[in-house]
Structure 1
Amino acid sequence: MSAPRSGQAVALLAHGSPDPEWLRPVEQIAGRLRVLAPELSIAIATLEHGPALADVIARLEEAGVRRVVVVPVFLSGGGRHMRRDVPELVARIQREHEGLEIALGGDALATDPLVLDALAAAALRRVELSSPA
Structure 2
Amino acid sequence: MSTQALILFAHGARAASWAAPFERLRDLVAARTPGVDVSLAYLELMEPRLPERAAALVAQGVTHLTVVPVFLGQGGHVLRDLPLMIDELRAAHPGLTVKVVEAAGENDAVLRALADYCVGAL
The question of a shared fold, defined as TM-score above 0.5 by the shorter chain, is answered with yes
Which one has the largest radius of gyration?
1
Structure 2 match to 1:9 = 5
TM-score w.r.t. structure 2 length? 0.94
Equivalent residues, number = 121
Runs of 5+ consecutive residues of structure 1 not aligned to the other structure:
128-133
Output one character per residue of 1:15-70: Cα deviation in whole Å (capped at 9) or x when no partner: 00011111111111110111111121111100011211000001111111111111
Work out the CA distance in 1 between the residues paired with 2:50 and 2:15: 18
Q: What is the RMSD computed on CA atoms of the aligned residues?
A: 0.9
Is 1:102 equivalent to 2:82 in the alignment?
no
Structure 2 match to 1:61 = 58
TM-score w.r.t. structure 1 length? 0.87
SS at match of 1:83: helix
Please report how far the alpha carbon of residue 75 of structure 1 lies from its aligned counterpart in structure 2 after TM superposition: 0.3
Please report how far the alpha carbon of residue 81 of structure 1 lies from its aligned counterpart in structure 2 after TM superposition: 0.9
Please report how far the alpha carbon of residue 83 of structure 1 lies from its aligned counterpart in structure 2 after TM superposition: 1.2
SS at match of 1:90: helix
Structure 2 match to 1:113 = 108
Work out the CA distance in 2 between the residues paired with 1:113 and 1:58: 31
